Each structure stands twice: as C-alpha cells, then as structure tokens.
Amino acid sequence: MFDVDNDIIHSNLSSVVFRSPPGEPDAIDITEDDVDPLVDGGHLSDGIVDFYSLVLLGPDMGVSSNIATFTSLFATLLMQNRAFTLASLASQASSSFEREFWVMAVVRHRHWCLAIVVRPNELANCVIKLAT
C-alpha cells in the first residue's frame, strides 16, 4: 500500500508529455515518468503499454465481439483495490461476462505477463455442475 501511494504521488508530480487520444475524456496521460524509462531502456509503464495497445489496434480496427479487453490498470486495481474495481466492473456493460475471452496485460513488481480468461461465459454452468 505504501508503494502504491508513493507511485500515485510520484505520478501526479510528473508532467504530462502528451494525451492519447487527444481531446477524449478517457484519454491516457503519458507523463515524463512513462517516457524516461522507455527511452533509457527501462521497464515499460502501464501508461506506455496501454497507449501502444491502442496504437497497435488502430483507429479503425475493432475488437472481435467475442473478446473483452481490459487495460493494465484494470488488473492492477483488481489486485489492489478490489471493491472499487468490482463496482466499476459492475457498472460496465454486463456483456463482458458473456464474451468468450477476456484479455488483460498484467504488471506486477515491474514484470509483465498476459492473462487470458477462456470461456468465462461458461463459468456459471460449470459452477452449477460442481455445486450439484
């Protein structure tokens, strides 16, 4: 928790280099703290990975309707502040739980991995079978 608070304070102090997509309410702020390690050969930050995920996706390329994608911040909040994230997830379209795949980039202790949940839409049936 101490580290998280420090990160938030540090992030707030760092100046924004650019916003992407510009003018959008949910734009990603890329700060000096994100850019410096990128240029210096250090670890990639949440902001950089989420930003470049959007670049790779392209403005005209949609995500298949059977895939739900989440930002890396989602996984971080899920692990650190579950009540908040669960509430925000509940307020999202419940269709996330009806997709065939969930894809999320996860960073822990400055190490990246990719988590893919396969067939979360079948989980209810599976749990009911186990319960009976």
Partner 1 sequence: MNNTPFWVILDPKRGGNDYRGLKKALGDCMMYRLHEKIETLDKAVLCSLVGKALTLRHVRVPQQSDSSRCGLFVLGLRTAFIHGDDETRRLLCALTSLTKKSSVWTGFMSTLPTRKDVITACDKVRRQGLKDNSNKGKSTSSDGQAKRTVVGMVEAAAAA
Q: Which residues bind partner 1 (CB under 8 A)?
A: 17-20, 22, 30, 35, 38-39, 41-44, 48-49, 51-53, 55-57, 61, 63-64, 67, 69, 75, 78-79, 82, 85-86, 89-90, 94, 97, 101-103, 105-108, 111-128, 130-131
Q: Which residues of 79-111 are buried (b: 16+ CB within 10 A; e: fewer)?
A: eeeeeebeeebeeeeeeeeebebbebbbbeeee
Q: What is the nearest approach in angstroms of partner 1 to the Cβ of residue 108? A: 7
Instruction: Say which residues have a Cβ less than 8 Å from residue 20's Cβ, sequence separation at least 6.
Output: 27, 28, 30, 51, 54
Using the minimum distance from each CB to partner 1, give the nearer residue, 6 or 65: 65
Q: What is the nearest approach in angstroms of partner 1 to the Cβ of residue 23? A: 8
The residue to which tokens 């980039």 are assigned: 105
Using the minimum distance from each CB to partner 1, give the nearer residue, 4 or 57: 57
